Chain A
Amino acid sequence: MDFMVFQYPMISVQACLDGILLGILFALIAYGMALQWGVMNIINIAQGDLVILGGYIAYFMYLYGIHPAWGVIVSPIIMFFVGIAIYKLVINKVVDRDLFISILATFGISILFMQLMNFAFGADVVLANSDYGTTMLFNNNVVLPNSKIFSAFISILFAICLVIYMKKSKLGRAIRATAQNARAAKILGVDTEKVYAATFGINAALCGVAGALISITFTIHPYMGLPYTIRSFMIVIVAGLGNLPGVAMSGMGLGVFEEFADYILGTEFRIGSVFLLLVLILVYRRFKLSRKREYLK
């Protein structure tokens, strides 16, 4: 136990800001996951691998002398088509099957992607330098790398665009209709097959944006996808499906919680404590549900 975080108030400010910036980025990945989970009832284990692949696109742009920030535009475009291709090849065969089959299928895709990326890009850990510099706040006591601020800003921008698109566009409405009731939507003339493909494509594109941002802020490696899958899974579990503000809040909340756990309990308990929180939330949810059920009786 260490209470440094309370002795130096600036550390609390730093922890909060770090957690929020990190959480926003994770929320973007989680939103993609929630979207396809809600619409297609598929839990995508390959989510993190799509993120890493998006990161490699930005990294290669950086290698060829293009600023990696352009990756946030190029990467989602390429990843959208990668997503569609995965849908056509694999996902459309498992989309109406039970959850277990889709988990197995996406787990297979995840392994395949890891190995292919390792084969194509090598097993080295790489990163793209943005040279964005640093923002110092509160008399230099709080430091925020501009790359993290940039990441959070871009994530928010994409999230807002997506929400507007979902509300206003024809395809967006079709996606929401399919999520509510696929059969009814089909009867009313929605081409659900197209909706599914588009949803998977949009999710992959979001992963592409997040991957490009991660190559700028952290590091990428063919085998680093799984932690991102688990993290977004947790955020979705806490927030529930199909609610973007919930996903954003839960992303940031988990981010801040994680930072404080690091300072107070120690770095080795950082991830463990997040899992503990997840268990507590699930137990609480169950408890609340069972109370409701009793009331209904």
Chain B
Amino acid sequence: MKINKLILSFISAAVILLSTSVVSFAKVVGDKIVLGAAISLTGKYSSNGVHTQNGYNMAVDRINSMGGVKVGGKTYKFDIIYYDDESNPKRAAQLAERLISQDGVEFMLGPYSSGLTKAIAPVTEKYGVPMVEANGASRSLFTKGYKYLFAVLAPANLYLDVAIDLAVEKNNGKGVTVAMAFEQDAFSQDVRLGVLDAIKRTGSKKVIDDKLPKELNDMAATLVKVKQMKPDVLVVSGHTKGALTAIRQISEMKVDVPMLAMTHCDAAKLSKQHGKNSQYALCASQWHKTLTYKDDFFKDGMTYDADFTKEFGYAPPYQAAESSAALLVFKDAFERANSFDQKKVRDALAATNMQTFYGNIKFAPGGQNVDKPMVLFQVMCDDGGKCENKVVAPTKWASAKLIHPIPSWSKR
């Protein structure tokens, strides 16, 4: 009995010793730069998690096949260790710890969604691990003074303020009346703050300000108010379920409003699920394939769209495009830093000023990308019921003319 115990304790001691000594594999092994990422491959964010992973993988393959990353006269290739965070913030934070302290990863890519990025950022910050993220847009990520967090995307408060500007422009520069319906989550509330700023700036007036519940699947009450108050603009943000619910109920209740602006239209596959009923909706997007930004790896949006579709069998949503851009940023920073020292890479990231197929990238001190405006596209359908998203604002990238005001339901 005693001997058994002795053997057992010996084995456990050996296991503990081994497990601690395995720690800190080099993060740059041979000719590989190993990045770490916790991504939602299961759970409620899994669709967008997969888009993110596909975007990362596509960029890794492309960069590696086109010569890799040159640091100190040597060529390195990217490799990514993925873990599934199950769409759970706690799990994401644990996995970030594991990637850094067990797998020895020194550079991280972001997860999907603001919530999970918020969970991971304190961990990467604690260890001084530079993280380039492509899917956390919440404003609160950039006000915490994080030094190692860099986001290639525009922050959430810039999603829909373009729409208010557009409505004011159509109203000959005079203020408009705005109805707002936003889900009560960090992201949508940030979008709301941006809209409120725009309302103040343009001398507009908010007439409805509804906060929708997280399990939102009915906004009939808000729409009844909209029918009664007849605002110039209706803005809705509630992830994919918000976009789908809004279009379903607006069409069923025949709500006439001159301008309807939303988020998450392409993630919701709005035009596919609702067909002609989604026509004329304005949607905020981080990226659109028709934008004319260029880089050496993916050429431009149209080429990226074609290549991605060929590889994965579906057209890339902006979540995939921005994820690919994150790798381009890392490559650029490694080459400029000419080192794998985390601090040097961090400083190089902070000094980023480049153009990618996804847009210009330049980070503010808070870590958000300030050099890439949001675009608005409008769902436009032909007589056969085939719908397409066309960029209508900002004017510089517009590929179609905005249809305004939206024709009333009785004439559609």
Find out whether the CB atom of A223 lies under 8 angstroms from the CB atom of B213.
Answer: no
Q: Does B98 contact A (CB under 8 A)?
A: no
| B253 with A268: CB separation less than 8 A | no
Interface check B241, CB cutoff 8 A: yes
In this complex, the member of B224, B269, B274 whose beta carbon has the largest number of chain A beta carbons within 10 angstroms is: B224
Identify which of A8, A122, A123, A262 contacts B228 (C-beta below 8 A).
A8
Number of chain A residues close to chain B: CB under 8 A? 38
Is the CB–CB distance between B245 and A218 below 8 Å? Answer: yes
Q: How many A-B residue pairs have CB under 8 A?
A: 95
A22 neighbours in B (Cβ, 8 Å) = 218
Q: Is B102 an interface residue (CB 8 A)?
A: no
A292 CA / B266 CA spacing, docked (Å):
60
Pairwise interchain contact B43-A127, C-beta atoms closer than 8 A: no
- Judged by a CB distance under 8 angstroms, whether B210 is at the interface is yes
Among the interface residues A124, A134, A221, A226, which one has the most CB atoms of the partner chain B within 10 A?
A124
Chain A residues in 8 Å Cβ range of B45: 123
A280, CB-defined interface residue at 8 Å: no
Judge if B24 is at the interface, Cβ distance under 8 Å: no
A118 partner residues in chain B, CB cutoff 8 A: 42-44, 46
What's the Cα separation between A216 and B304 when bound, in Å? 36
Pair B254/A129 contact, Cβ less than 8 Å: no
Within 8 A of B (CB), among A140-181: 143, 145, 147
Give chain B nearest CB distance to A48 CB in angstroms: 10
Q: How far is the CB of B317 from chain A (nearest CB, A)?
A: 11
Nearest residue, chain B, Cβ from A136:
B254
Q: Please measure, in the bound complex, the distance between the C-alpha atom of A267 and the C-alpha atom of B184, giving whole angstroms.
A: 10
Minimal Cβ-Cβ distance residue in A for B245: A219
Which residues of the other chain, A, contact B275 by a CB distance below 8 angstroms? 129
Within 8 A of A (CB), among B194-243: 210-213, 215, 217-218, 220-222, 224-225, 227-228, 239-241
Binary per-residue interface labels of chain A (193-220) against chain B in the complex, 1 for a CB within 8 Å, 0 otherwise: 0000000000000000000000000110
Asked if B248 lies at the interface with its beta carbon under 8 angstroms from chain A, I say yes
Interface status of A245 (Cβ within 8 A of chain B)? no
Say yes or no for A41: interface residue by CB 8 A criterion.
no
Decide if A270 is an interface residue (CB 8 Å cutoff). Answer: yes
- CB distance A227 to B215 under 8 Å? yes
Q: Is the CB of B47 within 8 A of A271?
A: no
Pair A266/B44 contact, Cβ less than 8 Å: no
Query: Is the Cβ of B44 less than 8 Å from the Cβ of A126?
Result: no
Which residue from chain B places its CB closest to the CB of A21 in the assembled complex? B220
**Docked-complex contact B46 and A122, CB < 8 angstroms:** yes
Cβ 8 A contact of B269, one of A8, A15, A124, A134: A124
Q: Which residues in A have some Cβ–Cβ distance to B below 8 Å?
A: 4, 8, 11, 14-15, 18, 22, 115, 118-119, 122-127, 129, 134, 136, 143, 145, 147, 218-219, 221-224, 226-227, 259, 262-263, 266-268, 270-271
